[in-house]
């Protein structure tokens, strides 16, 4: 089966611009997670979708971040306007069942650089 | 508070030498514990996991980890390191009551000397 796909793999934008990251989960995986790693820090949870519903968005840093998952398939994470501290690697993961955390599959991540 | 600590930011070992990467966690309930590896340009790959049962778990690529509840530790080991093991390693903790989300440590970067 195809893995979790994220694009773009890299994005460099100027402060104040808008960027949209996309994640395509494994087909049939209802659970989709976004994580972020700021340079030198730990990977931190941002939010969790179950199908198209936001199950937990406790990790979203502020209202400049908007995540959507229309139709319960792919998800987008929009940052508007981007700030310097938003730079980092954004990971997406999907799983079929939350009772099976080892069923997580991570994407390769999107490296976002805000200059 | 739930947290994971990886005390070593960077470790260098010689090829063929043994390896131990440390991980300590703080978690209120029975934890699920994981080790992931990230090679350059790649995603996070699961090396091994502990849910319950035997506290010594075997993973891929010859790695193993031991869950020690009394020490709140889940250290990763490999008896003989290969150059291809150079990567960044992440310890993580999670649980069903967390909706499947994971809490990660800061990562340990492993360099391998020839």
pLDDT in tens, B65-78: 999 999 999 999 99
Instruction: Test A102 with B34 for CB contact under 8 angstroms.
Output: yes
Query: pLDDT at position A102, please?
Result: 62
Length of chain B: 114
- Which position has the higher pLDDT, B77 or B44? B77
Residues A107, B43: C-beta atoms closer than 8 Å: yes
Nearest chain A CA: its distance from B14 CA (Å): 24
Residues in B closer than 8 angstroms to A105, CB to CB, are: 43
Which residues of chain B make contact with A106, given a CB cutoff of 8 A?
36, 43-45
Cα B92 from Cα B35, distance rounded (Å): 6
Of B41, B43, B105, the CB nearest to A106: B43
Residue whose tokens read 């310890």? B91
Mean pLDDT along residues B28-52 = 88
Distance CA B50, CA A47 (A): 24
**What gap in Å lies between CA A43 and CA A45, rounded to an integer?**
7
| A63, A64, A70, A75 alpha-carbon torsion, rounded to 10° | -120
**Element holding A107 (H helix, E strand):** none
The Cα B13–Cα A100 span in angstroms is 34
CB contact under 8 A, B101 and A48: yes
Total count of residues recorded for chain A: 115
Residue B98 has pLDDT above 90, yes or no: no
Contact by Cβ (8 Å): A87, A21: no
Q: What is the pLDDT confidence band of residue B95, given thresholds at 50, 70 and 90? A: confident
Averaged pLDDT, B44-64? 92
Structure tokens at B18: 């043994």
A108 touches chain B (CB under 8 A): yes
Beta carbons of A3 and B101 less than 8 Å apart:
no
- Residue pair B34/B92 in contact (Cβ under 8 Å)? The answer is yes
Which residue out of B101, B103, B109 would a mutagenesis test of the A interface target, given it has the greatest number of A Cβ atoms within 10 Å?
A: B101
Averaged pLDDT, B22-32: 87
Give the nearest partner residue to A98 out of B49, B96, B107, using CB atoms: B96
Going residue by residue through chain A, which has 115 residues, state the pLDDT in tens, using 9 for 90 and above: 679 999 999 999 999 999 999 999 999 899 999 999 998 789 999 999 999 999 999 999 999 999 999 888 999 999 999 999 999 999 999 988 776 656 788 999 999 999 9
| Nearest residue in chain B measured CA to CA from A46 | B101
């Amino acid at each position: 089966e195809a893995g979790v796909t994220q694009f773009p793999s890299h994005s460099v934008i100027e402060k104040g611009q808008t960027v949209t990251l996309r994640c395509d989960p494994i087909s049939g995986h209802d659970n989709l997670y976004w994580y972020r790693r700021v340079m030198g820090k730990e990977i931190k949870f941002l939010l969790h979708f179950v199908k198209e519903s936001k199950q937990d968005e406790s990790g979203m840093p502020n209202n400049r971040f908007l995540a959507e998952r229309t139709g319960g398939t792919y998800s987008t994470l929009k940052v508007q306007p981007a700030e310097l501290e938003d730079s980092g690697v954004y990971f997406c993961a999907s799983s079929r069942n939350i009772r099976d955390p080892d069923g997580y599959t991570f994407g390769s991540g999107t490296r976002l650089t805000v200059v | 508070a739930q947290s994971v600590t990886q005390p070593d930011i960077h470790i260098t070992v010689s090829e063929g030498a043994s390896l131990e990467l440390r991980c300590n966690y703080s978690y209120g309930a029975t934890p699920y514990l994981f080790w992931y590896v990230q090679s350059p340009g790649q995603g996070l790959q699961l090396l091994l996991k502990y849910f319950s049962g035997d506290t010594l778990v075997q993973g891929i690529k010859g790695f193993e980890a031991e869950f020690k509840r009394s020490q709140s530790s889940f250290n990763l080991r490999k008896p003989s390191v290969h150059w291809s093991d150079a990567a960044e390693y992440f310890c993580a903790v999670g649980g069903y009551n967390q909706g499947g989300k994971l809490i990660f440590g800061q990562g340990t970067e492993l360099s391998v000397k020839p």
